[in-house]
Amino acid sequence: MKKVRVGIVGAGGYGGCGAVELLTRHPGAEVAVLVDTQDVGRPMSEMYPHLNGFCDMVIKSPDDPDMPKDLDVVLFATPDGVGQKGAPFWLENGTKVVDYSGDFRFNDADTYKGYASRIGRTQEHASPQLLSESVYGLAELHRDEIRKSRLVGNPGCFAVSCILGLTPALAERIIEPDSIICDAKTGISGAGKNPKPTWHFPARYETMNAYKISGHQHVYEIERELSRVAGRDITITFTPHAIPLCRGILSTIYADLKPGLTAKTIEEAYRGFYNKDAFVRVFGPDKPQMSVYMRGTNFCNLSINVDERTNKLIVVSLIDNLVKGQAGSAVQNLNLMCGLDETEGLMHPGIYP
Amino acid sequence: MKKVRVGIVGAGGYGGCGAVELLTRHPGAEVAVLVDTQDVGRPMSEMYPHLNGFCDMVIKSPDDPDMPKDLDVVLFATPDGVGQKGAPFWLENGTKVVDYSGDFRFNDADTYKGYASRIGRTQEHASPQLLSESVYGLAELHRDEIRKSRLVGNPGCFAVSCILGLTPALAERIIEPDSIICDAKTGISGAGKNPKPTWHFPARYETMNAYKISGHQHVYEIERELSRVAGRDITITFTPHAIPLCRGILSTIYADLKPGLTAKTIEEAYRGFYNKDAFVRVFGPDKPQMSVYMRGTNFCNLSINVDERTNKLIVVSLIDNLVKGQAGSAVQNLNLMCGLDETEGLMHPGIYP
Amino acid sequence: MKKVRVGIVGAGGYGGCGAVELLTRHPGAEVAVLVDTQDVGRPMSEMYPHLNGFCDMVIKSPDDPDMPKDLDVVLFATPDGVGQKGAPFWLENGTKVVDYSGDFRFNDADTYKGYASRIGRTQEHASPQLLSESVYGLAELHRDEIRKSRLVGNPGCFAVSCILGLTPALAERIIEPDSIICDAKTGISGAGKNPKPTWHFPARYETMNAYKISGHQHVYEIERELSRVAGRDITITFTPHAIPLCRGILSTIYADLKPGLTAKTIEEAYRGFYNKDAFVRVFGPDKPQMSVYMRGTNFCNLSINVDERTNKLIVVSLIDNLVKGQAGSAVQNLNLMCGLDETEGLMHPGIYP
Amino acid sequence: MKKVRVGIVGAGGYGGCGAVELLTRHPGAEVAVLVDTQDVGRPMSEMYPHLNGFCDMVIKSPDDPDMPKDLDVVLFATPDGVGQKGAPFWLENGTKVVDYSGDFRFNDADTYKGYASRIGRTQEHASPQLLSESVYGLAELHRDEIRKSRLVGNPGCFAVSCILGLTPALAERIIEPDSIICDAKTGISGAGKNPKPTWHFPARYETMNAYKISGHQHVYEIERELSRVAGRDITITFTPHAIPLCRGILSTIYADLKPGLTAKTIEEAYRGFYNKDAFVRVFGPDKPQMSVYMRGTNFCNLSINVDERTNKLIVVSLIDNLVKGQAGSAVQNLNLMCGLDETEGLMHPGIYP
């Protein structure tokens, strides 16, 4: 059977590299072209020597006149602002698009503007006409829409962990919607490939910190999704923390329980909610989870706890920020959009230790 | 001037080592005897070679008949259960005692029992007659009592960070007392010196996890202190997390704001509350803090933030768990108990990076 | 086609876990039974939660009467002394054996004794009759013998990196055999699963050290293999170092060059020597290599350098100590012994970063 | 007594910060001015918040007309090329100068040129007239000259560890001078403060590598010093490695032993050689040393080993690259140049773990 042909724009970043890694072992899809503005003309394995012999394809410039016209999907593994400019070209050629940034996570220009202001973007959206058809690419919540869509906005890494950790609690009316606090901890790979003083190895070696307190841009999409599920506007408290390890997000989520619920029924409600989702696994307090169990995989593990003394639900939601939080979700979306099995190329364990 | 003579029981653990490090550069106090049940007869610098030439004193057994009788203070840098047995001997000799464990953090046998049950201790307290006179060793809250006391229960590391982070908010009626959530992150040195599978280097390398969700024993003393300040019973939600670095506690503290307060006035209230405390420093949101700034020091830095969207106070409280969270507080208490300047031997910056 | 059925004795250690990970994605082989003396009756995924849903098989005791009789291969992922006792049982049943320890790396009882004394073993070998038929399991050097063998001694992790780094230089008469120095650096996972003070996370956090200077037990097999290749007795200087990361061995190998050679011809000699070896890759000084490129893979990358000022060959040899240095080599051997393609289940890149 | 007044040019880098840390607790010297081209007008503690309350002095521009004229010493904690331009101004004002870079490590323009070419500098030395009077700032070898000098070239970090590890062996005719190999491992703080892709936290997290094989610029000064001691030209093999920790250099040094020496006499020779050096400590093979023991201190620990099988001396030399390898040596030199006790402000242990 012919393999799905995938283009990756922004191939040289961690998000592009992650997609290449997954596609290298994907039985039903293959990398057809790699595009970036940096390192044009150099083989991917030169920048990422672990791909030596697995992906030696040369990076093309976005302006390269010799761009393949027969791609099934293009992944924009690019920062905000790139996909919204580049998507129309591919869509017009019949190529589907998954964008990693916030460019297509919102369905109208106004909402987008609200998001964009948080990251200091003042420009108008370059393709506002596409916003209404774009789908938020969290398969566990929008599987059917993604299947039918040609344009998907891949979710933010923190958003994946928080939305998956909270949706059953809101859908099943387990918690008070106004009481949500997400205390998120992320590995440093979430900062991407470009070096900055904050992410310099010696500056980051034995330290941790909270940052963007009450101002992280992912809050926007988390609140939008949670509000949709709850059927009312939801505002959350969200504090991200930078932790000195490479991969992993651990979000500790707190909310007030509605009356009359037991830990057991809540755990069952979560399990029931995700019983068709191959990548979400629900655990009780007897099976504590660590971020390393997710490393290199597309899983999201949820640990469901109840603090009876304060009547709180405490969900610990764990992902690999570069897989389920980025390239893994992109491949999961690609699978759905191209009629492949949702789990193809993604169903493997990580390595330990 | 004659130096204060200090004995350290449990010298071989990280808490004992930390006290030796601080006393080595302390102008007014000195190590007079080192006691432990392990490594008896070996010089301290053999177990801790960085102390070579600075502390080559030999470890004595607790049963050693030749124990100095002229000590001013003994630090019990020992696990729960040891100090409560050993304290009477020293007190009877006129030696003051600081105990690192929970043995003397509570003032009656019943309260102690409640604490002890959380750590699986079923034995009665060995010296219940001493509980009523023991003082909780957090100098910022109990300075005068510590000065007059001969028996101090040094606070737990998480407790130091959470109590210092919350006390002004409760004392100044800034927050709703029933809304407190402490999300604490600790470096692995908090686990002590003894190796366990959980703290094995490869098992801990690139991972983080929540543990003892709603069941950590430090909650007990945090709630006791906060209740005292608030003048009413307070129950908190507390989740500790293990983070793959060596030193540092970062507690992110959330609580609902009472109406009519601004970020500025809250910050000022905190600053006013601690204006006589050399080791607590208050910062606004413009000066984000990292745990490494505290490393090796007795400081507690507080970052005061307000989330106006959800009307929450968010305090980030940072300490070095082995200094302000353990040996540093012990030396601070020792200074107060022996009439030395509170900051003696403790007022130095750490190293960076 | 029927899959090769594999038993793993010592399944609960890192070496057993590594074999399970590789077999989980191996198209031609499968785990048939897991045996250990610890954690009997518990599913593998309870000790290694990252295997949840991939290997939930329950650990059997070695004494379990219900042991499958139809295994094709058993891997003894066990410490020295276990395989030599257990191997006869399996061999008599027609099951092939790969042993991870030093038990079957030597071909007579006397040589074994010399090795055993280095690790403090004084007992006689339990199955000396098997030693003459056992094969040293480094496929790049003994491929044909391994194919025909029913008993293979998997090589030591340091040995893999040093032997692969030196063999072409000796075989092609590039270096003076008496001048060899191996300065090896290893991640901490090489210490295995059991916690010890030396490998305690806080004790290991920001530190490095040389150990067993001129006394490491792997020297014995390195010298044996190098002597075989050189056709004369070779003695090497070997210093291992513990480095604070989890996976990876980097051996920096120094030797005096014979006259009349150029960097280019040496690099070509290495490339020629390994041109049929899928897992050994040779690079010149223009392509510096890092240990992370090998992480999770069965590759050994060799960086070939010449110091013209001192007329030295400097080879940097890199592996993942838990894959090519342990479980990967075991699976590579298993493939050869069972008539599978040598690279089956092993030909994939790692993840980065 | 009046304190020695110290200026620091390049205050904002790790080398400047390290000097400030040491001077903060120095009883006989004090920071008088901080100069840098970056962050002019900002207090030092803004860039380095751990210095809050200890050094809040504002950074001056090098062009600031209001530069103090009464300084006793200026430290140029600057990259190559800066000190050679700036030194004359201070020297003319009667201020002594210690330069951290290679600018004043060599005593004539030709030798300097050889060094400079290794780091890609093609410019002529800006102050060649000063080279003949400059002294190489390794106090253990040049104490008396440093005392009398007004211009000192602080040694390179690798050079400190290798020269101290080898000098007694050459001075006492213990080794064959042509057989020296230095395999050096360094923490990442040696790369300085400026972020680069190579030192980006995720890129460096679980990896190690050799670099500049046979081409590191410190080789030049190591060979010069060793040749001086040996009384003949010495060429060494030197391979640096980057290791994922922050502070620490561990150099493993190999050389062929001359005949007729025992491990014991060699150890004694080393001990004798350094018996007046407070910061160099000699250990036998029974006291293995780790880099963390040196962290934050000005010590250099030497572990002396003999491999009898190959007749090699193996010295493990350990320092903190930012202290004895940089700012600590600078303060040690400053003490000597200003008539203070050599160890003032430097004689303290580090912290552990």
**Domain-by-domain residue ranges, chain C?**
4-154+324-337, 157-321
Burial D179-197 (b: 16+ CB within 10 A, else e): bbbbbbbbbbbbbebebee
Whether residue A293 is predicted with pLDDT greater than 80 in this model: the reply is yes
Report the pLDDT value the prediction gives residue C156, as an integer from 0 to 100: 98
Number of residues in chain A: 353
Kindly indicate the confidence band of residue D215, based on its pLDDT and cuts at 50, 70 and 90.
confident
Contact C201 B199 (CB under 8 A): yes
Q: What is the mean pLDDT of residues C26-31?
A: 98
The order of strands in the sheet holding D237-242 is D209-210, D237-242, D181-186, D249-256, D312-319, D300-307, D280-283
User: What distance in Å separates the CA atoms of residue A291 and residue A284, rounded to the nearest whole number?
Assistant: 16
B-side interface with D, Cβ within 8 Å? 14, 17-18, 21, 24-25, 48-55, 189, 205-206, 246-247, 281, 287, 289-290, 292-297, 322, 348-353
Its CATH architecture, for the domain A157-321, is 2-Layer Sandwich (3.30)
List pLDDT tens digits, range C213-260.
978 999 999 999 999 999 999 999 999 999 999 999 999 999 999 999
Element (H, E) at D230: helix D218-230
Report the pLDDT value the prediction gives residue B42, as an integer from 0 to 100: 98
Kindly indicate the confidence band of residue A214, based on its pLDDT and cuts at 50, 70 and 90.
confident
* B-chain residues near C200 (CB < 8 A): 193-195, 199-201
Q: Are B13 and B77 in contact (CB under 8 A)?
A: yes
Average pLDDT, whole number, for chain C?
A: 97
Q: What is the mean pLDDT of residues D88-110?
A: 97
Chain C nearest-CA residue for A323: C351
Q: What share of chain A is helix, strand, coil (3-state, %, to 5)?
A: 35, 20, 45
Q: Which residue has the tokens 């293999």?
A: C225
Q: What is the mean pLDDT of residues D187-211?
A: 97
* B245–chain C nearest CA distance, Å: 7
Query: Which residue ranges in chain B fall short of pLDDT 70?
Result: none
Look up residue C175 and give its two tokens: 């270096």
Contact C48 A281 (CB under 8 A): no
Q: Which residues contact B161 (CB under 8 A, 6 or more apart)?
A: B184, B249, B250, B251, B300, B317, B318, B319, B325
* D249–chain C nearest CA distance, Å: 9
Report the pLDDT value the prediction gives residue C215, as an integer from 0 to 100: 86
Contact C243 D248 (CB under 8 A): no
Q: For the domain made up of A4-155+324-337, give the CATH fold.
A: Rossmann fold (3.40.50)
Indicate the burial class of D268 (C-beta count within 10 angstroms; 0-12, 13-18, 19 or more): middle
CA-wise closest residue to D52 among D33, D24, D30: D24
Whether residue D1 is predicted with pLDDT greater than 80 in this model: the reply is no
* A199–chain C nearest CA distance, Å: 14
Report the pLDDT value the prediction gives residue C214, as an integer from 0 to 100: 79
CA-wise closest residue to C205 among D89, B191, A145: B191
What positions of B carry a catalytic annotation? Answer: 157
Count of Cβ atoms closer than 10 Å to residue A211 Cβ: 15
* A130–chain D nearest CA distance, Å: 35
Q: Name the amino acid, one letter, at B56.
A: D
Contact C308 D214 (CB under 8 A): yes
Look up residue C162 and give its two tokens: 């040093």
Report the pLDDT value the prediction gives residue B1, as an integer from 0 to 100: 74
Q: What is the mean pLDDT of residues D118-126?
A: 94
Report the pLDDT value the prediction gives residue D242, as an integer from 0 to 100: 98
User: What distance in Å separates the CA atoms of residue C73 and residue C146, rounded to the nearest whole number?
Assistant: 13
Q: Which residue has the tokens 């979710």?
A: A155
User: What distance in Å separates the CA atoms of residue A110 and residue A113, rounded to the nearest whole number?
Assistant: 5
* A-chain residues near D14 (CB < 8 A): 202
Report the sign of the C-alpha dihedral through residues A197, A202, A205, A209, in that order: negative
Contact A348 C17 (CB under 8 A): no
**Please, what CATH class does the domain formed by B157-323 belong to?**
alpha beta
What positions of C carry a catalytic annotation? Answer: 157
Q: Which chains touch B (3 or more CB pairs under 8 A)?
A: A, C, D
Query: Diameter of chain D by CA atoms?
Result: 65
Report the pLDDT value the prediction gives residue A113, as an integer from 0 to 100: 95
What positions of A carry a catalytic annotation? Answer: 157
Contact D201 A204 (CB under 8 A): yes
Q: Which residues contact C319 (CB under 8 A, 6 or more apart)?
A: C157, C160, C161, C164, C248, C249, C294, C299, C300, C301, C325
- Asked if CATH classification 3.40.30.10 holds for the domain at B4-155+325-337, the reply, yes or no, is no
What's the pTM value of the predicted model, to 2 decimals?
0.98
Kindly indicate the confidence band of residue C1, based on its pLDDT and cuts at 50, 70 and 90.
confident
User: What distance in Å separates the CA atoms of residue B188 and residue B321, rounded to the nearest whole number?
Assistant: 10
Report the pLDDT value the prediction gives residue D334, as an integer from 0 to 100: 98
User: What distance in Å separates the CA atoms of residue B154 and residue B247, rounded to the nearest whole number?
Assistant: 19
Report the pLDDT value the prediction gives residue A215, as an integer from 0 to 100: 86
Query: Diameter of chain C by CA atoms?
Result: 65
Whether residue D235 is predicted with pLDDT greater than 80 in this model: the reply is yes
Chain D nearest-CA residue for A322: D202
Kindly indicate the confidence band of residue D214, based on its pLDDT and cuts at 50, 70 and 90.
confident
Whether residue A207 is predicted with pLDDT greater than 90 in this model: the reply is yes
Contact A353 B316 (CB under 8 A): no
Report the pLDDT value the prediction gives residue A1, as an integer from 0 to 100: 74
User: What distance in Å separates the CA atoms of residue A110 and residue A98, rounded to the nearest whole number?
Assistant: 21
Q: Are C128 and C109 in contact (CB under 8 A)?
A: yes
Q: Which chains touch D (3 or more CB pairs under 8 A)?
A: A, B, C
> In chain A, pLDDT over 90 holds for what percent of residues?
99
What backbone torsions phi and psi does residue D162 show, to the nearest 5 degrees?
A: -75, -40
User: What distance in Å separates the CA atoms of residue B73 and residue B91, rounded to the nearest whole number?
Assistant: 9
User: What distance in Å separates the CA atoms of residue B326 and residue C28, rounded to the nearest whole number?
Assistant: 56
The order of strands in the sheet holding C29-35 is C59-60, C29-35, C4-9, C73-76, C96-99, C151-153, C135-136
Q: Which CATH number fits domain C4-154+324-337: 3.30.67.10, 1.20.1250.20, 3.40.50.1820, 3.40.50.720?
A: 3.40.50.720
Q: Which residues contact A260 (CB under 8 A, 6 or more apart)?
A: none
Q: Which chains touch A (3 or more CB pairs under 8 A)?
A: B, C, D
DSSP, residue by residue, A163-183 = HHHHHHHHHTT-B-GGG-EEE
D-side interface with B, Cβ within 8 Å? 14, 17-18, 21, 24-25, 48-55, 189, 205-206, 246-247, 281, 287, 289-290, 292-297, 322, 348-353
DSSP, residue by residue, B266-291 = HHHHHHHHTTT-TTEEEE-TTS---G
Chain B nearest-CA residue for D297: B50
Q: What share of chain D is helix, strand, coil (3-state, %, to 5)?
A: 35, 20, 45
A-side interface with C, Cβ within 8 Å? 14, 17-18, 21, 24-25, 48-55, 189, 205-206, 246-247, 281, 287, 289-290, 292-297, 322, 348-353
List pLDDT tens digits, range D248-257.
999 999 999 9
